Structure 1
Amino acid sequence: MEIRSVSTILSVTVTQKEGRERMVFYFKARPEAGEYTIFMGLDKYENEDLIKFGFPQDIWFHVDKMSSAHVYLRLPKGQTIDDIPEGVLEDCAQLVKANSIQGNKVNNISIVYTPWQNLKKTASMEVGQVGFHDQKMVRTMKVEKRMNEIVNRLNKTKIERKPDLKAEREAVNASEIAERKHQLRDKKRQDELEKLEKERQAELRSYKNLMVAEKMTSNKDTASASKSVQEIEDDFM
């Protein structure tokens, strides 16, 4: 029977973890608030992928100073962290608390949340561990106690998926690049139209200046101002 070292076994275990399909749980926030999707990974390995392949409009939630699930809120395009409805914030906070072993047992805990782009990951950090680029962008909210009616409502909407997070992120990148190109084309066209309009207006102003009455002369004025041939000859006599 082949005997493998502990290090080999650990290596195989990690490889199996890294190669498995990722499970992500999706929830729907309270319907009266609009279309908001909340999601979280099964464990720290999914959290690692969610950190790596997040969307610019994602907001990250976690129990402060305690172990908990990494919960994300995907905002509709154009919204920011300042636009999150109070009820949706409460949904996210309750879901984080409910998925924290320690945080679920105590009252009056703090939830921290920040835009996905503010998450910082370094090579020295453990799997699923994260820091922040700018502490000023991290917000805190208090949760007095678990509210089962909120947690139960969210759990009824839970859907399990095994998404290709990398492919989803690449699709978003491609869409953003295409949109920027379209915007640049529109801006270039608008700039060209504005340039043509400026040139037309300048031409009109120039023409109007030529047509000012004080600067115009009639054929009669020209004839009276000019000397005749006979008059010029008389001048030389």
Structure 2
Amino acid sequence: MVFYFKSQPKADDYTNFMGLDKYENEELIKYGFMEDIWLHVDKISSAHVYLRLKKREGVVEDCAQLVKASSIQGKKVNDIDVVYTPWSNLKKTPSMDVRQVGFHNSKMVRTVRVEKRIHEIVNRLNKAKVERKPDLKAEKEAVYAAKKTQRKQQLKEKKCQEEMQRLEKKREVEIRSYEDLMVSEKMTSNKQIAATSKSFQEVEQDFM
């Protein structure tokens, strides 16, 4: 089971969500998107909260409150640190226990201080909570397949545009070459050709 929370009712540019327990968290770690942001209370147990977004403004605080509220220890105390990092920075090895996770690059991990529980935020999130049983693998594959198709289409359009530009440049070169041939100073009239040409008799005499 995965819980989905809507921070702003009219905002469609991000979603925050978390697993029901450690087993769902394993699936979320495995099938996260490159754009996802992962959040967790620093150094103590809590839910793994994810932020899937197009824009980040104003939503990290919501997720940080969600992480704190889901932590058995964290929700009892003030001034806790919540760490977050891109999903791509999460490191999972076979030797790690369920729910345990590390980082590829510690410099990509950020920390936000949560001074206290903000009830208005937590209550708003819980009212908008939706429960689903998604096929995380299928969802990721579908999204990445759509992106791959989009990239291929963009590449095709780029090549088509480049070919049109090449043909246009070739046509311009041909036009310039034709215009050069038609310059009056470089042209010779039939009268000029006749005036400078030998007569048949003269040609015959030269031949003899």
Determine the C-alpha separation between the residues in 2 that align with 1:150 and 1:33. 15
Q: Give the letter aligned to residue 20 of structure 2.
A: L
Query: Could you tell me whether the CA contact under 8 Å between 1:29 and 1:35 is conserved in 2?
Result: no
Counterparts in 2 of 1:143-182, with a 5 A limit? 143-182=114-153
**Identity value in percent:** 69
Determine the C-alpha separation between the residues in 1 that align with 2:193 and 2:89. 78
Determine the C-alpha separation between the residues in 1 that align with 2:72 and 2:82. 14
Q: Secondary structure at the match of 1:101?
A: coil
* 1:28 and 2:6 aligned: yes
Q: Could you tell me which residue of structure 1 aligns to residue 177 of structure 2?
A: 206
Query: What are the superposed Cα offsets for residues 104-157 of structure 1, whole Å, 9 maximum, x if unpaired?
Result: 222222222122122121122111222222223222222111111111111111
Question: Normalization by structure 2: what TM-score?
Answer: 0.89
Determine the C-alpha separation between the residues in 1 that align with 2:7 and 2:61. 10
- Out of 43, 54, 73, the residue aligned to residue 21 of structure 2 is 43
* 1:128 and 2:106 aligned: no
* 1:96 and 2:74 aligned: no
Q: Give the letter aligned to residue 203 of structure 1.
A: E
Determine the C-alpha separation between the residues in 2 that align with 1:210 and 1:109. 82
- Shift, 1:231, TM fit: 4.1
Between 1:125-134 and 1:149-158, the stretch displaced more is 125-134
Query: What are the superposed Cα offsets for residues 176-198 of structure 1, whole Å, 9 maximum, x if unpaired?
Result: 22222222222232222222212
Cα RMSD for the two superposed structures: 2.1
Q: Which runs of 5+ in 2 are unaligned?
A: none
Q: Secondary structure at the match of 1:39?
A: strand
Q: Give the letter aligned to residue 116 of structure 2.
A: K
Q: Could you tell me which residue of structure 2 aligns to residue 19 of structure 1?
A: none
Q: Give the letter aligned to residue 68 of structure 1.
A: S
* 1:73 and 2:45 aligned: no
Q: Could you tell me which residue of structure 2 aligns to residue 55 of structure 1?
A: 33
Between 1:65-74 and 1:221-230, the stretch displaced more is 221-230
Compared CA separation, residues 219 and 157, structure 1 to 2 (3 A): same
Q: Could you tell me which residue of structure 2 aligns to residue 141 of structure 1?
A: 112
Q: Secondary structure at the match of 2:94?
A: coil
Query: Could you tell me whether the CA contact under 8 Å between 1:118 and 1:133 is conserved in 2?
Result: yes
- Shift, 1:51, TM fit: 0.8
Compared CA separation, residues 171 and 236, structure 1 to 2 (3 A): closer
Question: Normalization by structure 1: what TM-score?
Answer: 0.79
Q: Which runs of 5+ in 1 are unaligned?
A: 1-22
Determine the C-alpha separation between the residues in 2 that align with 1:111 and 1:33. 24
Determine the C-alpha separation between the residues in 2 that align with 1:213 and 1:62. 81
* 1:85 and 2:73 aligned: no
Q: Secondary structure at the match of 1:31?
A: coil
- Shift, 1:235, TM fit: 6.2
The total of aligned residue pairs comes to: 208
- Shift, 1:38, TM fit: 0.9
Compared CA separation, residues 138 and 224, structure 1 to 2 (3 A): farther
Determine the C-alpha separation between the residues in 2 that align with 1:140 and 1:194. 50
